[in-house]
Amino acid sequence: MSDTPSAVLFCCDHNSIRSPMAEGLMKNLVGTKIFIQSAGVKGDNDVDGFAVAVCKELDVELSKHKSRSFEELEDWGDRLDSFDLVIALSPTSHRRIAELTKNSAVDVEYWETADPTGSGENREDKLAAYRAVRDDIIANIKKRFLS
């Protein structure tokens, strides 16, 4: 694993579902070997309750996560060019991060990851959609960082 980065940023649209899930799940899977953060194009939503619930099933705590935008991330001291790798989980975040890092030595990857909002007619259907996203993120983390 010579291409293992020392710092990874996950990003999505609002930093309320996919990227916080990815941050929490990766910290759970790899521990402190890699510095891991998440951000969104916008940081205007609280962490989604369904994301919190499906991660809690795996003992991954998201309820204390504070949503943040790329700008807020930098305001708080984490410069985008301090990450070796940024993994975009949505098309919008992929376009925005490519723009923000075009003059940096930051690698950017895009992991197509479904947006589970609006899925399902009832609570169980919604949870199933969120679990599918969670499990997809886990599979991608294992494939990219643990194989």
Whether 84 and 6 have beta carbons less than 8 Å apart is answered as: yes
Mean pLDDT by 10 residues, the chain (147 residues): 82 96 97 93 89 97 92 86 95 95 93 94 96 98 93
| Element at 7 (helix H, strand E) | strand 7-12
Q: What is the pLDDT of residue 74?
A: 85
Q: What is the pLDDT of residue 17?
A: 96
Q: What is the pLDDT of residue 1?
A: 40
Q: What is the pLDDT of residue 23?
A: 97
* Cα three-residue angle 29-140-57, rounded to 5 degrees: 50
**Domains in the chain with CATH codes:** 7-145 (3.40.50.2300)
Q: What is the pLDDT of residue 79?
A: 86
The pair of three-digit structure tokens given for residue 133, joined into one six-digit string? 């996203």
